[in-house]
Amino acid sequence: MPDLAPGRESDSESAGTSSGPDQPRTQPDLAERLGDPGRRRRENRLSLASQRQLYLLASGMSTAGSFAGLTAKSWILLHNSGNALILALHFGCLALPSLLLSGPAGVATDRLGCEKVLIRAQWGLFGAALLGALAIPLLQGQLQVAMLLLSTLLVGVASSYELTARNKYSALLVEDPEHLGRYIASFSVVFNVGKLIGPPLGGWLLALGGATTALVLDAATYLLPLATVMGLLHPIRSAEQRSGPGRSASLGTAWRECGPVLRHVLRFTAIATLVGFFHPGLAPLIARQVLGPSPQALGIFTSVLAAGSICGGITLQRNSAWLTARPGLLLGSCTLLTALAQLGMATGAGHPAIELAMTFLIGAGTACLLAGTNLIGQVGAPMALRGRMAGLGQIAFLGGGGLSGIAAALISARIGLGGTFALLGAIGSVLGLGELVLQGRLRLVPPSSLKSDESDEEAR
């Protein structure tokens, strides 16, 4: 009987004889008949390019559902309480957790592994959103308001971990490191597209199906990236590097070891965010000044802002390699563009066409600033630090504009919204010009391993 072990030849084959017409044919090799199950599974897998597109699509649908749910919650809170302060608190519950938890999220990502943290964060997002959906039929009055705010707070907490882990996880879906920046920049485009279509989708769901239906569908969208990661994606797990135990896994260690170039990027972004990224918190106030107090005016304003963000994200995506290699040029240009648009808002008051054009430029400038900082941190840091670098980047964004919005609100209470645009626009112009003049020639060299401060100085 012939040897049926895979990779072995039968006796006749080893003797070099061929079977004649009267000679019985040898039994087919068992591996050929049954196939190699491991190889068959590998052949059935999607290519990395297809996996990247699938994950991007699932994340985009989840983002649109998230903004639809936030819009529905905002309407419910305003309808039930009639208090504008509740809306501000709602936005704070979503944005400010990233300021406090992005650091621990980055440490957990580098310590435990990005895929594990990402899956847990997606489950957390689903549970938090489902909690908001259950509050509608089960609770009423102030208890319902409190439960909706708690739901949004938990979404903000889980989002801090999800965003940090997703940044590092994206690198495991890219075989060529040169394509990493372009892929990460794609998430900025997807985010802003979701920001554009999510709010009207939330209003439509509220009108047709009611609050419970809108929030249940919002929760369901979080299952899309979760199912994609758990069932369809096969990242290059061997490419991930984790931090060791002890002090080497701390946020402070990442700050020291990332090098002077990335430290400068984070410092500059924090200052630029403070003077140029206050529009999310003041959007209703700005929209009322530009177009009037109606809800349609707010919708038009946010749509123009999102359109500018999409265009800025596409520009960054198509030029990601060139721009991330020049962090001073990228961040200085974005800051200057945003500041000039703020000055345009101050001088063009009373002219809606001019103010909407400036709104478009503010969206483009801030989108490139935030996404650019994220790209620079991921491309310029070693794999073992990327989770913590994503966390440091989120800290530099000051709670998604939460702190800058509060600062701008306090200033506008004293000198008016036009004066706030003029003051912060002037400061931003000086900041952006200074960065272009002093750091415009700064170069970032992506490391293959941990780089010392001396090697980063050579890159400068």
pLDDT-wise least confident of 36-50, 161-175, 274-288: 36-50
Q: What is the DSSP string of 291-335?
A: T-SSHHHHHHHHHHHHHHHHHHHHHHHHTHHHHHT-HHHHHHHHH
Task: Supply the Cα-derived Rg of the chain in whole angstroms.
Answer: 26
State residue 348's pLDDT score: 80
**Separation of CA 126 from chain center:** 17
Q: 245-460: CATH homologous superfamily?
A: MFS general substrate transporter like domains (1.20.1250.20)
Most confident among 214-223, 247-256, 288-297, 327-336 (mean pLDDT):
327-336
pLDDT-derived band at 448 (thresholds 50, 70, 90) equals low
The runs of H, that is alpha helices, within 260-294 are: 260-276, 279-290
**Three-class SS of residue 440?**
coil
CB proximity list for 98: less than 8 A, separation 6 or greater = 156, 159, 160, 163, 394, 395, 397, 399, 400
Are 342 and 428 within 8 A, CB to CB? yes
Instruction: Examine the pLDDT at 39 and tell me if it is beyond 50.
Output: no
> Domain map of the chain by residue range?
46-237, 245-460
Please tell me the distance from the alpha carbon of residue 266 to that of residue 327, in angstroms, as a whole number.
Answer: 11
Residue owning tokens 């430029």? 361
Please tell me the distance from the alpha carbon of residue 410 to that of residue 316, in angstroms, as a whole number.
Answer: 33
pLDDT-derived band at 7 (thresholds 50, 70, 90) equals very low
Directed axis angle between helix 114-138 and helix 141-171, to 10°?
160
Q: If we measure between CA atoms, which residue out of 308, 363, 341, 330 comes closest to residue 435? A: 330
| Domains 46-237 and 245-460 alike in fold | yes
Q: If we measure between CA atoms, which residue out of 146, 82, 223 comes closest to residue 138? A: 146
State residue 211's pLDDT score: 85
CATH fold group of domain 46-237: Growth Hormone; Chain: A; (1.20.1250)
Q: For the residues 85-98, what does the mean pLDDT come to?
A: 81
Token code pair at residue 414: 């004293």
pLDDT-wise least confident of 43-52, 154-163, 168-177, 330-339: 43-52
Q: What is the mean pLDDT of the chain?
A: 83
Cα angle 323, 251, 382 (rounded to 5 degrees) comes to 45
